[in-house]
Amino acid sequence: MATTRQQHAESGEARAPRDDFFAPVRGSLAGIVLLSVIGAATGVVPFIAIVELARALLPSLSTGEVDTSRVWTIVALAVVALLVSFSTAVGSGMVSHLADAELQLSLRQRIIRHLQRLPLGWFDTRTSGTVRKMVENDVIALHQLVAHGIQDVVTAITVPVIGIVYLFVVQWQLALVALVPVLLSIVLYALIMRGGAEKFAQYDAATERLSGATVEFVHGIAVVKRFGQVGRSHRRYHDQMRQYVDFIGRWTRDTAPLQGIAEVVTSPVVVLVLLLAAGAHLVSSGEAEPIDVLPGLLLGLGLTGPLMKLASSAQFLRNAAKAHESLARFFALPSVPEAGSPATPDGHDIGFERVSFSYDGRHQVLHDIVAACAPGTVTALVGASGSGKSTMAKLVPRFYDASAGQVTIGAADVRQISSEQLYREVGFVFQDVRLLRTSLRDNIRLTRPDATDEDVERVARAAQIHDRILRFERGYDSVIGVDANLSGGEAQRVTIARALLADAPILVLDEATAFADPDSEAAIQAALGELTTNRTVLVVAHRLHTIVGVDQILVLDAGRIVERGTHPQLVAAGGRYARMWSRYQANQATAVPEGVKG
């Protein structure tokens, strides 16, 4: 079942299904198109009116007679057309921006709702830049389409079509000449866009990498400055920025020559010279009267301008299509399945019943895992990097679902427990600390928004972080990243306080002290001691001295449990764990104390 879900997830990532994001604003979009067509059509009428006025007035130079009725009719039509064009432009702009606001609200609400329903493991494999690109860049791309792109594209198509039709009616030879720069620009832009799909895919990937590196650098700048690692932290951001700039530079250099030619061919001066030359030839050869050249000069000049605008609008369309595809893939990702009739755990024990797991449906990460964690005991998972210990731990809070077998809490399959109930039963503290850009108080009571200030202070004391918080000028009201900058170990203790406040009877810890300095490790261990009291704990161990007193140790190798027992039992057995313990002690003995120089 889980394998099938995983395969569905992959197909969802690879293929974007049909998803009508524009349903809430479909009526508004039709209105935008209609108003834009009317506005573009009436915008051409004054130019045609100038030509017709010239036809009505020029004969009077020789005859002295003017058809005043026709003249005033033309003037009236031109004025009405101008008023209609102005009104429809304003109306189209208002409708498009109102529709855009409604679409953005609808999309962002839907994105947030879907993010809340995704498996927690999805966030493990994505950077914050991925989510930011979707919530901001993709939605903004659709904003550009609705608020500006539709109106621009409709206008850029309608104006040249009406102009060309009119020219063919009044002077078809000049109409053909006016089409020359239009056709040349189409051919040139087609050449410019060769391989465009691949280039745009590379552009999107480069943008996402740069966005992720920027977010990580900005979020971590306070901590890395505190420990003098700005250069190392800045290097990744600088490398991604350099790669992005180099890519844009190469792409620009490749397309610049043809782009320059296209701009010259469609420039008003070149078009005017071409039309004047063609008009002079037609007049000198007797194929046209001078008055017949006027429509070509007035309307021919207006053909290439909209095309240039269409080229830039085409970028809006391209971005919107990519954004639509990206969002469709995201919304196709399967949510965490919820049981129709949720089960209720009977107790706080954890069970792994012949559990296997694969991330991709092909390569097994865990094989036939059988284990039990009794209520109120501490079980440690140890093994080499890649042995599957973190994956095994993350199956309990449903970061992922088992491909085979079942993970149980109180004899209930975790997949049959409602998400709300599951996270009341299971708390977790991982090494990848996530704090929100809000006050320390709100960060701690994230799991219990109704907690009192006294509750927050109590768990902060237990987590060994209370005194540090009070050293900030505004104490618990200090905002992360603004006037509260924490080291990695301090941030870890804030998450421990958060877990204490949640007061879940089952706790999953993933290498909580793996990268802590000795002082922070001691404080974290004291906080963890408070956190694990009277709870069922499953801990992924990195520093073996922290688990010598646990109730059970499971040794993993290549996704299988190869040994189990207490620390004394496993050391006495002389197996894999005993060798790990021996190497760990040797490394600890030879480690150079901090501050000692050779």
Confidence of residue 511 (pLDDT cuts 50, 70, 90): low
Greatest mean pLDDT range, 162-166, 207-211, 341-345, 569-573: 569-573
pLDDT at 285: 86
What would the mean pLDDT of 335-353 be, rounded to a whole number? Answer: 88
Cα 4 from chain centroid (whole Å): 26
Q: Are strands 350-358 and 364-373 parallel, antiparallel or unpaired?
A: antiparallel
Of 121-135, 289-303, 489-503, give the lowest mean pLDDT range.
121-135
More confident residue, 369 or 68: 369
Confidence of residue 316 (pLDDT cuts 50, 70, 90): confident
Helical spans, DSSP H, in 15-149: 26-57, 60-63, 68-117, 120-124, 128-132, 139-144
Q: What's the length of the chain?
A: 598
Whole-angstrom distance, CA of residue 140 vs CA of residue 315: 13
User: Any idea which residue has 């974290």 for tokens?
Assistant: 524
Kindly report, residue by residue over 3-18, the tens digit of the pLDDT: 443 444 444 444 444 5
Confidence of residue 395 (pLDDT cuts 50, 70, 90): very high
Q: Does the structure show a pLDDT above 70 at 342?
A: yes
What would the mean pLDDT of 219-228 be, rounded to a whole number? Answer: 51
Neighbours of 53 (CB within 10 A): 15
Whole-angstrom distance, CA of residue 411 vs CA of residue 422: 13
Q: Which residues contact 544 (CB under 8 A, 6 or more apart)?
A: 382, 580, 581, 584
What would the mean pLDDT of 321-346 be, rounded to a whole number? Answer: 84
What would the mean pLDDT of 167-172 be, rounded to a whole number? Answer: 85
pLDDT at 227: 45
| Percent of the chain's residues with pLDDT above 90 | 19
Q: Does the structure show a pLDDT above 90 at 565?
A: yes
Q: Which residues contact 166 (CB under 8 A, 6 or more apart)?
A: 44, 48, 295, 299
What would the mean pLDDT of 31-55 be, rounded to a whole number? Answer: 88
Q: Does the structure show a pLDDT above 60 at 323?
A: yes
Confidence of residue 518 (pLDDT cuts 50, 70, 90): low
Full set of structural domains in the chain with CATH: 12-332 (1.20.1560.10), 350-590 (3.40.50.300)
Confidence of residue 560 (pLDDT cuts 50, 70, 90): very high
Q: Terminal CA-to-CA distance of the chain, rounded, Å?
A: 58
Question: Closest Cα partner for 129 from 65, 64, 195, 204?
Answer: 204
Of 162-171, 174-183, 304-313, 515-524, give the lowest mean pLDDT range.
515-524
Of 238-252, 349-363, 435-449, 455-469, give the lowest mean pLDDT range.
238-252
pLDDT at 129: 64
Q: Which residues contact 61 (CB under 8 A, 6 or more apart)?
A: none
